Amino acid sequence: MSFWPGGRNIAAVGVYLLCLLVPLSLAQTASARSLPDFTELVENNSSAVVNISTTTEPKAGGNRSRALPFDERQLEQLPDFFQDFFRGPQSPFGGGQGGGAPRQSMGSGFIVSSDGYVLTNNHVVEGADEIIVRLNDRRELPAKLVGTDPRSDMAVLKIENGDDLPVVRVGSSKDLKVGEWVLAIGSPFGFDYTVTAGIVSAVGRSLPSENYVPFIQTDVAINPGNSGGPLFNLDGEVVGINSQIYTRSGGFMGVSFAIPIDDAMNVFQQIRDKGAVSRGWLGVLIQEVNRDLAQSFGLKRPRGALIAEVMSGSPAEEAGLKAGDIVLEYEGEDVTLSSDLPPMVGRTPVGETASLEVMREGEQITLDVEIGKLPEEGGEPASVPASGNNGPSSSPLGMTVEPLPDDVRNSLEISGGVLVSDVAQGPALNAGIRPRDVITELNRRPVNSVEEFREAVASLPDDSAVSVRVVRQGRAIYLVMKP
């Protein structure tokens, strides 16, 4: 009996469909088998992951009757509705003002030595008067704070009376590849030993608040309470410490950041052995090199860290680095983005000599610099003797400049320049130059007076991008202008 056009019978159709479905089923099975199995990794490492709860005695008012499932800093990232819920007078976690009850919060961490050293985030234990570490066998052990490093948001704890405790295996973050699988164990919202997995989205990320940490970016689900917990690779080695998320809602949105374990262990060893962390310091203000700046400085493509300012008395000044130099390599390692340079310098031991490959006036030179110690509050800007100026001037660039007043020169601690008094439509406005900017360099020529500014303008090339060094609100920056 025929049911199909062309005389095909139902048996033949069945065989045909079976031939199609079997390869598809086998392909799906093979695909499923290629996905990683995390069960053994979790079983082998959960015992070394800990939940950290802290108690902070009230300093001035406040009331908490139960532990928050995360720390105060993470609470501030949540939408106002959730903040009102957790802080309000009707909250099950207490609230209101003047109650005087201790404030409690929670986070995560992991044990790195059998005698009880624990790594976590600084913001998990910041200001805590009591720290309790809970293991997955439900033991609760008191811990003391050994030291912190707010710059990397790290803290080191020591479990009191710790002996023969389970430990994680520490790997290396420098071997991480974008796209490889990683796994996190922590206590999001107080749910102990929650496991989430994903891939490495990027490495070497620089965040505005952390210049000395080249973060690992992942899409692993991280939420308040995960902070301080470990990030594992498929070999069961810790490669990072989950630290921050990028969010507009207060919860996970697919972008999370971890401190690389190589940097974390360096901080840990310094805190354990010395009680404090010291970082290398160059003493420069840097900025990104975009396409236009690369063209104006004679680079074939955007790369490196452009030095906008060299601080007075800094290692950079002593080594001969100048504003306008572009650092292309540090100790033989390429500086692709400006954000690459601070972690490289920060990891260099104080007193060591580092070799820098620098682009200066179209030529590559090598400079050796003895790395100094990063000051607690950073360095001071350069200050050199002042020089004179002469009459005001307008230019075909669409701006009017005038001599730099002594009070402005002294307040900015610069040797010279010209003050932009007016900006009209034209190249200057398009470049981002604004009134009250101070121009100290045009097309890599120093500008200490209006006359020098006129000469620099007269010598500008046609139809070519040129760099302009501007001091604005006490900070130097390079802009690109196209005459």
Fold of 170-274: Thrombin, subunit H (2.40.10)
**3 state DSSP class of 272:** helix
Res 388: pLDDT: 34
Q: What is the dihedral of CA 345, 346, 349, 351, to 10 degrees?
A: 60
Gap between the terminal Cα atoms of the chain: 84
Res 21: pLDDT: 58
Domain boundaries, the chain: 48-159, 170-274, 280-373, 393-481
pLDDT digit string, tens, across residues 398-437 = 888 888 888 888 888 888 889 998 888 788 888 888 888 9
The residue annotated as part of the active site, out of 71, 153, 262, 325, is 153
CA–centroid distance for 388 within its chain: 42
Count of positions (residues) in the chain: 483
Amino acid at 271: I
The answer to whether domain 48-159 and domain 280-373 are alike in fold is: no
The residue annotated as part of the active site, out of 152, 227, 243, 338, is 227
Res 28: pLDDT: 54
Res 219: pLDDT: 95
pLDDT digit string, tens, across residues 268-300 = 999 999 988 989 999 998 988 988 889 888 899
Amino acid at 207: L
Fold of 48-159: Thrombin, subunit H (2.40.10)
Is 249 catalytic? The answer is no
CATH of domain 393-481: 2.30.42.10
As a whole number of angstroms, the distance between CA 433 and CA 435 comes to 7
Q: What is the DSSP letter of 126?
A: T
Report CA torsion sign: 329, 293, 283, 336: negative
Is 296 catalytic? The answer is no
The residue annotated as part of the active site, out of 53, 71, 108, 123, is 123
Which residue in 224, 191, 212, 228 sits closest to 266, CA to CA?
A: 212
Given a cut of 70, the residues of the chain with pLDDT beneath it are 1-33, 59-101, 209, 377-396, 463
Is 153 catalytic? The answer is yes
- CB neighbours of residue 376 within 10 Å: 6
Res 316: pLDDT: 94
Res 381: pLDDT: 33
Res 60: pLDDT: 53
Res 9: pLDDT: 58
CATH of domain 280-373: 2.30.42.10
Res 97: pLDDT: 46
Res 430: pLDDT: 84
